Amino acid sequence: MSVHPPANFTARSTARDVIERIDLTGRRALVTGGASGIGLVTARTLAQAGAEVTLAVRNPQSARPVAAEIEAATGRPVHLAHLNLTDLAGIDAFTAAWEGPLHILVNNAGVMALPDLVRTEQGWESQFATNHLGHAALTLGLHEALKAATDARVVQVSSSAHLLAGVDFEDIHFTRRPYDPWIAYGQSKTAIILFTQELAERWKEDGITLNSLHPGGIMTNLQRHLDDAQLAFVGAKDTDGTTLEVPPGWKTPQQGAATSVLLAASPLFAHVSGRYFEDLALAPVQHEPAPGKSGVAPYATDPHLAQRLYTETLGMLRQR
């Protein structure tokens, strides 16, 4: 892989900027939610650099035009695979069927702010189940494939929304406390950061790096569950109530995918693991977590909480 990445990245840098002069020929990448939004940009960018990409999506049939478009644009083979992150039996089947090494895993798919409490068949709150538990099961199931690559990278898409909530270990699935869409979303994104940190420590001898990130605010189908009031709350509407394509302070999909691509491909971070990034850089600690702020919350990087989250996660996955 090339060792001449572009320098002087900023918050406005794009995935195209990040991938410049990087050669991923011979590397295999898997991107969840790779048929739309920043997942699509991430997948296309990795393919443009020479990677053999698999899009793991809920509906492979509807994603066929996307895969064909990437193949036509890059000349690289693009594979489609069915993956429902709340179907743990399906995840097990997917990981059991995977053959050969996996060099890059980008856990990008997710759901945000479901307006009503939705439970999986296991009784788990759906955002926690989708954003964290499903990706955790996928990553754990692909451990041997990642290890076989000898220098694999796992990229976990979290969010600044983790600043809304830590993990409530006494009531993760809202069996006693009132359900709140944003608290549930924030909790799931905190869990991603904690799990990344703990798994990075446990897998450090396997040649696998794991990092999490906030991609920035990007208008994608992730906002599909938000009503007008919630869109206004997150700053996606102007004073006239018009939904904006790129709200002030938000990013384009190309900019939003840049940090994922950086962590997946750049030699600059080949040996960095267990960290949380935003705007293509390590995020500072945010000692006063709150909506609209940046940085990483202390409760999202606490090693004791990371160990507890790992234990709780394995317990849930084993008891399903």
Report which residue type is found at 302. D
Asked if residue 208 lies in contact with residue 147, where contact means CB atoms within 8 angstroms, the answer is: yes
Determine phi and psi for 212, rounding to 5 degrees. -115, 165
**DSSP 8-state code for residue 116:** S
Catalytic residue among 179, 185, 276, 299: 185
The residue written with tokens 């924030």 in the block is: 186
CA atoms of 146 and 202, how far apart (whole Å): 14
C-alpha distances (whole Å) from 33 to each of 41, 108, 144 are: 11, 6, 22
User: CA-CA distance, 256 to 250, in Å (whole number)?
Assistant: 9
List the beta bridge partners of residue 210.
154
Q: Any idea which residue has 């939610």 for tokens? A: 33
Rounded CA-CA distance 249/244 in Å is 11
Sheet bearing 276-278, strands edge to edge: 78-82, 52-57, 28-32, 104-107, 152-157, 208-214, 276-278, 281-282
Q: How far apart are CA 14 and CA 216, in angstroms?
A: 12
SS3 213: strand
Assess whether 185 carries a catalytic annotation: yes
Give the span between the Cα atoms of 242 and 211, in whole angstroms.
36
And the tokens for 261? 């691509």
Residues serving a catalytic function are 185
